Amino acid sequence: MITLQHYSASHFVHVRPMFEVAWIPVLAGISGPLQQTDNMEVVELCLDGFKNAIRIVCFFDLELERNAFVTTLAKFTFLNNLGEMKAKNMEAIKALLDVAINEGNNLKGSWHEVCRVSVSWSTCN
C-alpha cells in the first residue's frame, strides 16, 4: 500500500524554488491562450497571470525568468505590426505599463523592454 504524505508550505521562501522549476510551464500556460483568443475574459486572466508572475520573479530577483516574462508580455503589444493590433494588444500595453509602475526598480534590465514599448507607442501617435 502506498501512503501519500502532504507537506504544506508555510513561508514565502518556499515559492522561489517552486517557481524556478515551474516558470516555463506557467509562461506557456498563460501565453498560449493569450495568443489564441480574442475573448477578453481569457485575455484579462492571462494578463493577470503575467503581472503576478512578474511580481514573483521581481520579488525573488530571478533575472532569466523576469526577462522571459517581460519580453513575452512586450511582444503581445504588437506595436511592431499596427495593422493587426487588436483590443487584447492594447490591454497588453496597459498591463506592461502597470507592471512598470508597480515593480519600478525591481524590473532592473527588463526596463529596456518597457522603454522600447513606450517609445514605439509614442511614435504611433
Q: Which three cell numbers stand for residue 42?
A: 481569457
Q: SS3 for 102?
A: helix
Q: SS3 for 115?
A: helix
Q: What is the identity of the amino acid at 97?
A: L
pLDDT-derived band of residue 119, with 50, 70 and 90 as boundaries?
confident
How confident is the model over 30-80, as pLDDT tens digits?
A: 999 999 999 999 999 999 999 999 999 999 999 999 999 999 999 999 887
This prediction's pTM: 0.87
pLDDT-derived band of residue 125, with 50, 70 and 90 as boundaries?
low
Whose grid coordinates read 513606450? 118
Backbone angles phi, psi at 76, to 5 degrees: -75, -5
